Structure 1
Amino acid sequence: MKPAMRKPLPYHVIDEIFARFAAAEPTPEGELEHVNAYTLVVAVALSAQATDAGVNKATRALFAKVTTPQQMLDLGEDGLIEHIKTIGLYRNKAKNVLKMSRILVDEYGGEVPCSRAALESLPGVGRKTANVVLNMWWKHPAQAVDTHIFRLGNRTGIAPGKDVVAVERAIEDNVPAPYQLHAHHWMILHGRYVCVARKPKCPACLIRDLCPFEEKTE
């Protein structure tokens, strides 16, 4: 029998958690390297089932020469694969990046659209990727839920939910408005470096006293 889902923390506790996050890192940033909206979309699409560090290592040389959809089309599939072959699922990702680039050139004048629906219609771009681009490039308070945020949201009670969409909605509902813009960055960084899956680093956690997780490490 599955345990009951954790109840959301009280509003004043969540407010204090994000106040602490904001005090420690007022302007958190995503770790994927990019030079414009297009390279950001490509980087996020490549990061599926891969680490940001691994994607950055592969795309530094790529983005030094390719910064537009047309340049990507000119590079071609073999040229792109040569750059990203260290990334998991690189062949399928290369095909999607080229398909996406063709659509951007043919239907959007080479520009990346700024609506979630349009972004999600692009090959290789799902809801999470669209939310990352909306948040990081256009500064929309969109919440991109990955495994780190899903774990943190449920473990702490900040944003419990049975799936990523439910957690996304819970962040939108539970996190105070002043913290919405940076909420997913604070959560992903905390989940990636402190509230890790195995043996969370509770002694180093700045919200330890507010967190109801029963199995804290010493």
Structure 2
Amino acid sequence: MTVPSFTVPSLFLAAPLTAYLAFVSPWLGRRQYDRLARRRAGDPRALVRAYRLWIGEEWAWIAVTALILALSPGAGPHDLGLTRPDDLGKVAAMAGGLSCALLAGSLVLRHAARSGRAVRGQEAVAALLPRTSTERRHAVAMAVTAGVCEEVVYRGLLIALGVGVLGLNQAVAAFLALAVFVAGHFYQGWKGMAAVTLLGFWFTAMYLATDSLLLPIVAHVLIDLRGLVLTPPPVQEKVGEPSM
């Protein structure tokens, strides 16, 4: 990885964005999720409004990230992993492993759900599970948005800032970026955050191994689609109640 160079004007955008992601977003996300869980049963549009709010917010992060790059001639999209991976053999091997893991996990989760058992980890996002076709369309949009925007910002931008601004080793910068990514899922509670830590570590490892966000983005989108849209809720599930 080359060392990106960020200008002072770009840091006036990068610093508040990083602070927001690390400290404000976790607290705000927890409040928004709790409010959604309380209103879900009595307000048929609550989930759609929440999805639209979060989709707009995450694409706003991308707009700020694009402006940071525009103000920094010494940093480019390739410094954020927005490039084609060089080692296609390594990518093919990782893609094969990803496909097998997703298939096996999906079969296990669908079997658990159809037998009426709660799917492990599903209770952490119970209020986000769609029930109608409109909600499912928004859930798909949310999964794609999260996969693209969160990888570009949490993985690409934050690691680049750690290396280029703080002078950190790439591995250390990646660890700190992972911590911020996990904090952003505070609304899921500690059990949910533990699962997010494992997934985030996996996404980070794929990024560092390929120097590209292509595979992490694809994996993130597919996992979110599976969790929100493709895994049926358990028969006995009571959707909309806070899990914590």
Normalized per residue, the structure richer in helix is 2
Higher relative contact order (CA 8 A, sep 6+): 2
